[in-house]
Amino acid sequence: MTKLRHDLLLLTMEVAEELRWEKEESKATKLKMEQKQKDIEQEDLKSKVMKEKLIPSEVDPILEEASGRTMENLNP
């Protein structure tokens, strides 16, 4: 009976480890899918801006503001 219990314990531990791996893989897959969705949304936004063909005078302040923020982030 002791051998049977030992084998059952080992099998239970193996199953638990496999479930942990599957859970981690599932999390990684979910994060990858979320990142792909964000990338798609960003590309859609870029193409929308390009389609609207903003007047340069409207684009320049936006770019200046964005580049200013970037420079502030780089130079604390």
Confidence of residue 46 (pLDDT cuts 50, 70, 90): confident
Amino acid identity at 34: E
Count of CB atoms situated within 10 Å of the CB of 73: 8
What is the domain partition of the chain in residue ranges? 2-74
pTM here is: 0.47
Mean pLDDT value across the chain: 80
